[in-house]
Amino acid sequence: MTYKLSQITKDIGLDFQGSDTEINGIHTLSEASSTQLSFFNSAKYLDQLPQTKAAAVLIEDKYAHLLPSTTIALITDEPYLKLALSSKFFAHKLESKGRHPAMGKGCDIDKRVRFGKNVILGDHVTILAGCYIGDNVTVGSNTLLHPNVTLYHGTQLGERCIVHSGTVVGCDGYGFAHTRQGEHVKIYQNGNVIIEDDVEVGANCTIDRAVFGTTYIRKGTKLDNLIQIAHNCDIGEHTLCAAQVGLAGSTTLGRNVVMGGQSATAGHLEVGAFTTIAGKGGVTKSLEGGKTYAGFPAIEIKLWRKMQAALMRLVKNR
């Protein structure tokens, strides 16, 4: 989908100066190409403004001079809200009509499976009753989908994966901009989910699609039941997540991270490789790898145990 910049700005109530270039998507300042729209709404990304390759940027007037000469400034005092309004242009159009998938050899597909358009299945794929495979989905060879799995449009599922019943992959991330009147405006989630080879996903998990770009589940990762992975997360290779783990948006886990049951992360942080988070641990900031953490907020487990012992002594001595 490609639109003239003038079409987008007219719809969201903005004017601009410059050539009426064609726009085919939205991305971050650092990732946007010369045919994409971007936005700036946080001073922590100031250093990215001079380097952006975006065709146009939604931005407050006081920062516009920092943009390169090749980028058009779309002046607004509500760049995040205007981003939300723009995102609908690039939302995937859903249709009820599907098409028979392109299948490799030896596939076993239950007759009660529904497919969207342009689905590709590798060799020896097994899909059981009640599954829905959306438009432009790829499922790798020797992968098994248990009953009632949903793969939203654009999902890429690797080889030798197992996805258990009730899991939804590629649903919308939880993203909204807010008006001055307190109304919530949907940011259309126009990215996708990529699950690499040899991943197992338990029952009733939800893995959200990226707002733009990709949510990644890297190879060899094993997810237990009832896990929530939010938009734009990047789960490192051979990670283990026990039941009811919750990862907020843009969490990055290094390889071989272990997260205990009901542990969780705040968004926009990194957990280093070979880290263990004890059950119910709450990660509120980036953590160094190769260590074990516990508690809320999560701290190194040796210190957490000392704190628990000290608290117990205080209570007993009252």
The pLDDT profile of the chain, 318 residues, written as one tens digit per residue, is 899 999 999 999 999 988 999 999 999 999 999 999 999 999 989 999 999 999 999 999 999 999 999 999 999 999 999 999 999 999 999 999 999 999 999 999 999 999 999 999 999 999 999 999 999 999 999 999 999 999 999 999 999 999 999 999 999 999 999 999 999 999 999 999 999 999 999 999 999 999 999 999 999 999 999 999 999 999 999 999 999 999 999 999 999 999 999 999 999 999 999 999 999 999 999 999 999 999 999 999 999 999 999 999 998 877
Question: Which pLDDT belongs to residue 77?
Answer: 96
Fold of 3-90: 3.40.1390
Are both 3-90 and 102-302 of the same fold?
Answer: no
Burial of 113 (0-12, 13-18, 19+ CB in 10 A): middle
pLDDT of residue 45: 93
CA distance 242 to 28: 32
What is the predicted pLDDT for the residue at 316? 85
| Residue with the two structure tokens 């190409």 | 33
Return the DSSP state at 287.
B
Give the pTM: 0.95
Q: Are strands 22-23 and 3-4 parallel, antiparallel or unpaired?
A: antiparallel
Rounded CA separation 273/255 (Å): 5
Among residues 153, 231, 238, 268, the one annotated as catalytic is: 231
Q: Is 231 a catalytic residue?
A: yes
Which architecture, in CATH terms, is 102-302?
Answer: 3 Solenoid (2.160)
pLDDT of amino acid 317? 79
Beta strands 176-178 and 184-186 are: antiparallel
Exposed / middle / buried, residue 173 (Cβ in 10 Å: 0-12, 13-18, 19+): buried
How far apart CA 92 and CA 135 sit, in angstroms, is 9
Residue 167: exposure state from Cβ atoms within 10 A (0-12, 13-18, ≥19) = buried
Angstrom distance (rounded) from CA 313 to CA 51: 56
Q: Is 35 exposed, middle or buried (0-12, 13-18, 19+ CB in 10 A)?
A: middle
Range 108-111, long-range pairs (CB < 8 A, 24+ positions): none
Break the chain down into helix, strand, coil percent, rounded to 5. 15, 30, 55
Distance of alpha carbon 299 from alpha carbon 256, whole angstroms? 19
Strand partners, 101: none
Helix ranges, 147-262 (H): none
Tell me the domain boundaries of the chain.
Answer: 3-90, 102-302
Q: So what's the pLDDT on residue 92? A: 96
176 with 186: CB under 8 angstroms? yes
Q: Write the CB contacts of 140 (distance below 8 Å, at least 6 apart in sequence).
A: 122, 125, 157, 158, 159, 160, 161, 197
Contact 179, 216 (CB under 8 A): no
pLDDT value for 1:
84
